[in-house]
Amino acid sequence: MVEWWRDAVIYQIYPRSFQDSDGDGIGDLKGITQRLDHVAGLGVDAIWLSPIFTSPMKDMGYDVSDYTDIDPLFGTLADFDALVARAHELGLKVIIDQVISHSSDKHPWFAESRQSRDNPRADWYVWADPNPDGTPPNNWPSVFGGPAWEWEPRRRQYYLHNFLIEQPDLNMHNPAVQDTLLETMRFWLERGVDGFRLDTVNYYFHDAQLRDNPPNPDHTGPETYGFQRHVHSKNRPENIGFLKRMRALTDEYDARMMVGEVGDGGQTAIDIMAEYTAGNDRLHMCYSFEMLSPEFTAAHFRRCIEGVQKGAPDGHSCWSFSNHDVIRHVTRWQDHAGNPDALARQAAAMLLSFPGTICLYQGEELGQTETELVYEELTDPPALRFWPEVRGRDGCRTPMVWDADAPNAGFTTADPWLPVKAPQASRAVTIQQADNDSVLAAYRAILSFRKSQPALRWGQTEFPDLPEPVLAFRRTHEGTSLTCVFNLSASPEQLTVTGDTVLSGPSHASLSAGRLVLPANGFAWLSGNIDLQA
């Protein structure tokens, strides 16, 4: 039997912004449970919950202070069990976010570690002496700006934080740290979760000798992180051994999976995805930010897919166009759009035709756009620090819009933690539900088409050579072929088709006498074994 996750569509829920049930302006677990029918009704297979664990929320839950409890903002362990039970009843798997590369600085482990150089947890984080002139031990920068080292006067040492100062890196070179983290994962496996999204999986290890990173000659951009090639502060070969331990743990249970988030870019990201998913004893799959970038060309999408195929023929990828860290794709790619809805439909058609596992981000099924915010509305630390050059991630994290007629579009009766603005509310579920031509209706139709096509779910993928702006690829499974064609531009395109074929599924194109006409952001699925020419 093919493992369930190989062709799964996973719906990412950002718990703070999905549904508030207790009137505090912040989404919570009970709210999610109430809204699961909407998710199941789309025809997806699983949900991924961004972090829900006890946290001071400096990085909105990506700073965990108790790995085996729920933050009171979100509810209780009993609420979590109820959520999992309801999801399973609806046929949805549940994946949680494990953030184990770093903890919160308020985690009791760190509180103890920072006290002295000889306490029982002295070596649980990455501590280093200063240089003779008092400066940090090496040149490593934090992703969120400034050095990756913070001074601790009690130990007269620095600690490593790849992200915020409040997110100290755990020391994975210490076997006791590995053992303890694996036990926290077991806690959730025993509770019935179906898998883990592994935050920043390529940051788990650092170079034990703390060597300086070399410069990156290609760097442009306003942020400091890109000035280096991060060969010593992440992507370390030692990580493979720990990934194998995690796999051995999940393999003790039935049908569980792990998807690693690779925080890197370009060919390096593709290479790491391949390396971490090769064979059967590492991660089940990886995802990277490659398709979360501003690039919207056929060559780019082809390079991502072929890169993983060539790098790890037996590996597995997971692709997404939006998440809680990047500008929503309808806004990010707007220069390539006839109109936002056409782009939203095309993105759905394209993403759901790609090989591998697919992640959708809450609101994307509504064609949701990025929310414009002013400085006073921001909560995201890098934006607060570097505004306006760094816009931050609040604009893609604003609340889900359910009901156009209710306050805050039905998200909360209180003041929401981030505002619900008119352009977003105008895309509410109640409005689109009533419209057969809505983006929401298109998502449902495309998801159901994907389910009905073994070639889309499990097929091999090959790319014919066609000039921009057309992306085309053929998916083949057990003798059945489907050719997927996309016009990645705001002007119409035509192609010549040779061979016996018909337009399948909810295609947005026309075919007659061997001419395929794709309108702006058009898309087509063509049955049979055919040939395409510009």
Binding mask 180-209 for ligand NOJ (x = CB under 6 A): -------------------xx---------
Round to whole Å and give the CA distance between 534 and 518: 12
| Look-up of token digits 């090496």 | 138
CB 398 within 8 A of CB 378: no
Enumerate the β-bridge partners of residue 9. Answer: 358
Closest separation in Å from C-beta 57 to ligand NOJ: 12
Enumerate the β-bridge partners of residue 531. Answer: 498
Closest separation in Å from C-beta 15 to Mg ion: 9
Counting contacts by CB under 6 A, is residue 223 touching ligand NOJ? Answer: no
Residue 24 contact partner, candidates Mg ion, ligand NOJ, none, CB within 5 to 8 A by sort of partner:
Mg ion
Counting contacts by CB under 6 A, is residue 366 touching ligand NOJ? Answer: no
CB 52 within 8 A of CB 96: yes
Residues 160-179 that bind ligand NOJ (CB under 6 A): 163
Residue 152 contact partner, candidates Mg ion, ligand NOJ, none, CB within 5 to 8 A by sort of partner:
none
Q: 181-216 burial, b for 16+ CB within 10 Å, e for fewer?
A: bbeebeebbeeebbbbbbbbbbbbbbbeebeebeee
Round to whole Å and give the CA distance between 436 and 493: 26
Q: Cis omega before residue 469 (within 30°)? A: yes
Residue 163 contact partner, candidates Mg ion, ligand NOJ, none, CB within 5 to 8 A by sort of partner:
ligand NOJ
Closest separation in Å from C-beta 62 to ligand NOJ: 3
Q: Decide if 199 is catalytic.
A: yes
Counting contacts by CB under 6 A, is residue 225 touching ligand NOJ? Answer: no
Closest separation in Å from C-beta 75 to Mg ion: 8
Residues 309-328 that bind ligand NOJ (CB under 6 A): 324-325
What does the DSSP assignment read for 429-467? HHHHHT-TTSHHHHHHHHHHHHHH-HHHHH-EEE-----
Q: Decide if 252 is catalytic.
A: yes
Catalytic residue among 118, 218, 252, 376: 252
Round to whole Å and give the CA distance between 85 and 432: 29
Counting contacts by CB under 6 A, is residue 8 touching ligand NOJ? Answer: no
Q: Which is nearer to ligand NOJ, 162 or 521 (CB)?
A: 162
For the chain, the straight-line distance linking the first and the last C-alpha, in angstroms and rounded, comes to 40
Residue 124 contact partner, candidates Mg ion, ligand NOJ, none, CB within 5 to 8 A by sort of partner:
none
Counting contacts by CB under 6 A, is residue 105 touching ligand NOJ? Answer: no
Q: Which is nearer to ligand NOJ, 11 or 62 (CB)?
A: 62
The catalytic site residues sit at 199, 252
